[in-house]
Amino acid sequence: MAPIPHEGLARRAITALTPERKRRACGREIIRGLYRLTADHFAHEELLMKEFGYDQAVAHTELHNAMLASFLDMIDDFDRYGADLIAAFVEQWIAGHLFQEDMPLARFIQRSQKTGRLVA
């Protein structure tokens, strides 16, 4: 069985709770890993939006771009924000974007699959 891409990230997140110097180095690695996972997730969603002709694709993609730009800024300020940065981003992504933006997309795709409506 292939490893889950974020499995190692979880282990490193636990390690981030060790002494300060090690935590910072590990934290930077975690935040960069979260950024890559997030960018990949968004790219996959954008392909799905195009494939299914999602009517909110432009606005949704703009949110992705804004979140990624914000995330890059936060990575630059990691020493100032540290672990709080990671927690805030994950909370924003899950509570905000995932439930408010991705759930309507998922429902749209499910309806499209039931009706056999694909654009691409």
Residue 88 backbone dihedrals phi, psi, to 5 degrees:
-65, -40
CA angle, 57 then 39 then 53, to 5°? 20
Print the domain residue range for 54: 7-115
Give the single-character DSSP code of 53: T
Rounded average pLDDT per 10-residue block, the chain, 120 residues: 52 59 69 84 92 93 91 78 71 77 88 73
Of 34, 54, 37, 41, residue with least CA distance to 104: 54
pTM of the model: 0.69
Predicted pLDDT at 21: 60
What is the count of structural domains for the chain? Answer: 1
Predicted pLDDT at 3: 46
Q: Are the C-beta atoms of 108 and 54 separated by less than 8 Å?
A: yes
Q: Are the C-beta atoms of 89 and 40 separated by less than 8 Å?
A: no
Predicted pLDDT at 14: 56
Q: Give the Cα separation of 89 and 84 in Å (integer).
A: 9
Predicted pLDDT at 78: 75
Q: What is the CATH number of the domain that holds 92?
A: 1.20.120.50
- Whose tokens are 């709770």? That residue is 17
